[in-house]
């Protein structure tokens, strides 16, 4: 099991009575592709923030890659996230004032364990794989197309060879043809590096491509 949640509860510190997340048991197997779907406001972002260690649960245990996140300091969770998790957002995936290369370098900068000797070359190789033209790699991010930006985001998410890739509605700003290409590319790259994929979306139509589809309503038992 790559991830295991045990009696996890979460509520905002300002409003401790209102629970956002309440999960009895949840686990993810290594190397598989998971699809989690649910409407917005059902606690998707909170669940992802818990899985990545950005926030700590109010109670319960979260174990990711053998590390019990709820016992780590926030600082340790931050470096754990940099080293082990690749994250892809719906939009605003890249720092707008850095170019593609620097965005990838930045992700590597936060991973203190895998300082790649030649990060420039590694970034370029990764962008080659993702078909981002050389000419676009040093241009401001805003000048790239949405599809290109998402490909750079994949390259950024994969640069530290993470065991776990989390994608938060990454396709909602793409058109149908682009979604198809994006998904194939993501699957292919996840398989190549043996990473587990957790893909969150409100669009159920994508579910058939995954090993396992979980409705968030079944996972999160908040009343």
Partner 1 sequence: MFIKLAYKSLLHRKVSVLLIILAMSVSIFVLLGVEHIRHQTKVNFNNSISNVDLIVGARSGKLNLLLYSVFRIGTPTSNIGWQSYKRLSYHRAVDWVIPISLGDSHKGFRVLGTTASYFKHYRYGNAQTIKLNEGKVFTHVLDVVLGSKVAKELNYEIGDKITLSHGVGKTSFSHHDHLAFRVTGIIAPTGTPIDQTLHVSLQGIEAVHIPNAHQILSNQSTELASLEENTLTPKSITAAMVGLKSRMLIFQLQRSINTNPTEPLMAILPGATLSEFWQSLSVMENALRLISSLIVFSAMLGLSAMLLTSIRERKQEINLLRMIGASSLFIFYFIQLEALFIAVASVVVATLSLYLSLSLAQAFLIEQYGLSISTNFFTTNTLLSIGTLLVFSLLSAIPASLKVNKMNE
Residues that bind partner 1 (CB under 8 A): 12-14, 49, 52, 54-55, 74-75, 78-79, 81-83, 87, 89, 92-98, 102, 105-107, 109-111, 156
Residue 69, number of CB atoms within 10 A of its CB: 24
Least distance from C-beta 52 to partner 1, angstroms? 7
Nearer to partner 1, 47 or 107 (CB): 107
Q: Edge-to-edge strands of the sheet including 164-168?
A: 85-88, 164-168, 196-201, 33-37, 212-215
Least distance from C-beta 91 to partner 1, angstroms? 8
Least distance from C-beta 191 to partner 1, angstroms? 23
Least distance from C-beta 18 to partner 1, angstroms? 14
Nearer to partner 1, 12 or 145 (CB): 12
The secondary structure of 5-64 as a DSSP string is EEEEEEE-TT-TTSEEEEEEEEEE-TT-EEEEE--TTSSHHHHHHHHTTSS--SEEEEEE
Nearer to partner 1, 107 or 214 (CB): 107
Euclidean distance between CA atoms 157 and 111, whole angstroms: 12
Give strand ranges (E) for the chain: 3-11, 19-28, 33-37, 59-64, 67-68, 85-88, 164-168, 196-201, 212-215
Least distance from C-beta 222 to partner 1, angstroms? 19
Nearer to partner 1, 33 or 81 (CB): 81
Nearer to partner 1, 6 or 80 (CB): 80
Least distance from C-beta 12 to partner 1, angstroms? 7
Nearer to partner 1, 111 or 220 (CB): 111
Euclidean distance between CA atoms 94 and 156, whole angstroms: 9
Q: How many helices (H) and strands (E) does the chain have?
A: 7, 9
């Amino acid at each position: 099991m790559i991830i295991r949640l045990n009696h996890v509860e979460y509520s905002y510190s300002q409003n401790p009575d209102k629970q956002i997340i309440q999960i009895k048991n949840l686990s993810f197997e290594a190397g598989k592709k998971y699809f989690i779907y649910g409407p917005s406001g059902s606690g998707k972002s909170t669940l992802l923030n818990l899985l990545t260690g950005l926030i700590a649960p109010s109670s319960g245990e979260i174990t990711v890659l053998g590390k019990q996140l709820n016992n780590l300091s926030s600082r340790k969770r931050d470096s754990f996230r940099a080293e082990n998790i690749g994250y892809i957002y719906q939009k605003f995936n890249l720092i707008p004032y850095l170019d593609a290369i620097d965005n990838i370098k930045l992700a590597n900068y936060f991973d203190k364990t895998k300082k790649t000797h030649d990060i420039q070359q590694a970034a370029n190789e990764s962008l080659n794989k993702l078909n981002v033209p050389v000419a676009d790699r040093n241009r401001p991010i805003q000048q790239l197309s949405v599809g290109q930006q998402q490909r750079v985001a994949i390259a950024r998410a994969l640069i530290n060879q993470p065991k776990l890739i989390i994608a938060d509605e990454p396709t909602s700003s793409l058109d149908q043809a682009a979604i198809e290409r994006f998904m194939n590319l993501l699957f292919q790259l996840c398989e190549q590096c043996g990473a587990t994929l957790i893909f969150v979306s409100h669009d159920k139509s994508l579910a058939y491509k995954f090993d396992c589809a979980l409705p968030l309503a079944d996972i999160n038992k908040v009343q």
